[in-house]
Amino acid sequence: AKTDGVGLWREFDATMQARQALLFEREQDLRNALGKKQFTLAYQPILDTGTRQSVGCEALLRWTHPTHGSVPPSEFVGLMEKLGLIVPIGRWVLETACLEAVHWPADTHVAVNLSPIQMNDEGLVDEVKAILIRSGLPAHRLTLEVTETSLLEDNPIVRNTMDALRAIGIRFSLDDFGTGHSGLGYLRRFPFDGIKIDKLFIQDMVEQPDAAAIVNALLAVSAELNLDVVAEGVETEAQYEALRQRHCQYVQGHYFAKPLADTEARRFILTHRTA
């Protein structure tokens, strides 16, 4: 076929239009997903490193699209934020996690991820309090995971939200720790109860001395500051062993369990506990 510049441009333009159409379709589907009950939560167990007993789970959002099947959060969480859907969907996540976790053993917790937009939303405190009342979940069984991005603007709302929710017993964990730029400074300025070491470091720590050095440093700082530490993305026996030797208190990853449906998560917890 003969292609001149104009023909190529038309082809390119058509591809762009097709991509635009696809994105637009995905946006529409996402707007309808909550009403159509296409979201579920998967729960990934968090274990005590020493005993390998389950202390709780992290709730992870799952979207089952009617034709595209399971869409990973990396493909829609950013879009939810852009479309202003993160607050209503985030509220659904919090409520569902609390309603389901209330049926787990009383000494376990559920960790819920909060977007920076939720953390900068003045309505969050009242919303969380109302959800705890409706679900019956005691506040100390809820952990909120936030990333550095939530703290970047140094918005007083974020600090006030953390203070108000910590005052009733909710715990805060700094997620993806080590991946940003000034994570250590945030630990001084915001009242965190724990950190999660990003899986990037955990997955390289056995083979790469620089990753192991960073894990060592993060564990040392956390011990000094009295913070709980969860290592995420543990996939191998060697990684688990390396973390155990370093006295990292909690672990989470495919080596122990993948994210599980509510009933399987509950069963996992019941079969992985001391009592």
Among 259, 260, 266, 268, binds ligand C2E (CB under 6 A): 259
Does residue 148 belong to the site contacting ligand C2E (CB under 6 A)?
A: no
Shortest approach of ligand C2E to residue 55 CB, angstroms? 16
> Which residue, 7 or 48, has its beta carbon nearer to ligand C2E?
48
The one of Ca ion, ligand C2E, none whose footprint includes residue 239, by CB under 5 to 8 A per kind, is: none
Query: How far apart, in Å, do the first and last CA atoms of the chain sit?
Result: 73
CA atoms of 112 and 151, how far apart (whole Å): 17
Closest CA to 132 of 155, 112, 159: 112
Shortest approach of ligand C2E to residue 110 CB, angstroms? 11
Does residue 148 belong to the site contacting Ca ion (CB under 5 A)?
A: no
Interactions with ligand C2E, residue window 12-51 (CB under 6 A): 44
Among 61, 119, 131, 205, binds ligand C2E (CB under 6 A): 61
Closest CA to 205 of 246, 261, 250: 246
Two structure tokens written together for 38? 């296409």
Two structure tokens written together for 131? 């959800």
Among 29, 100, 148, 176, binds ligand C2E (CB under 6 A): 176
Burial class (CB in 10 A: 0-12, 13-18, 19+), 126: exposed
Closest CA to 231 of 41, 48, 43, 101: 48
Two structure tokens written together for 129? 């309090």
Site map (CB under 5 A) of Ca ion, residues 215-254, x = contact:
----------------------------------------
Among 115, 143, 161, 222, binds ligand C2E (CB under 6 A): 115
Does residue 93 belong to the site contacting ligand C2E (CB under 6 A)?
A: yes
Does residue 183 belong to the site contacting ligand C2E (CB under 6 A)?
A: no
Shortest approach of Ca ion to residue 194 CB, angstroms? 12
Closest CA to 42 of 80, 70, 75, 82: 70
Length of the chain: 275
CA atoms of 246 and 219, how far apart (whole Å): 8
Q: Which residues bind ligand C2E (CB under 6 A)?
A: 44, 60-61, 72-74, 77, 93, 113-115, 175-176, 199, 232-235, 253-254, 259
Q: Which residues bind Ca ion (CB under 5 A)?
A: 113, 145, 175-176
